[in-house]
Amino acid sequence: MRYIAIHDRLGNIETLAAGNDDSPPPRPDLKPGQYCTEISSADVSDPPEEEMDDQVIFERLRKMLETYRVDTEGATAKFVRRS
C-alpha cells in the first residue's frame, strides 16, 4: 500500500491519502510550509485495504492521522507513533 502524506516540517500529518502500489501517486498543491511525502508501508494497516469497504478505509486513515506522524530523518520516510 502506498500512502501520500502532506505534513509540516515536524512530520505532523495534515492530509493522508492511500492507493495501490501500481497506481500513479497524486500530486497535491502544497501551501508554504507543507511537504508531500510518499510512504510505502504495510505495517500500519491490518487487514489490507483491498479487503475493507470505503467507510472502514476512511476510518482507518482518520485514526492514522491521529496516531502517527511522518519521520523523514532516515533514508526512507516512515510512519512513527506520536509521542
In the predicted structure, residue 7 carries a pLDDT above the cut 90: yes
Q: Is 11 in contact with 44 (CB distance < 8 Å)? A: no
Amino acid 47: pLDDT: 56
Nearest CA to 44 out of 77, 75, 8, 74 is that of: 77
Nearest CA to 42 out of 24, 71, 15, 18 is that of: 18
Amino acid 44: pLDDT: 58
**CA 44 to CA 29: how far, in whole Å?**
26
Helices (H), 6-53: none
pTM for the model stands at: 0.79
Amino acid 6: pLDDT: 95
Amino acid 83: pLDDT: 82
Q: Mind listing the pLDDT tens digit for each residue in 16-70?
A: 988 777 878 777 889 999 999 998 875 555 555 556 677 888 888 899 999 999 9
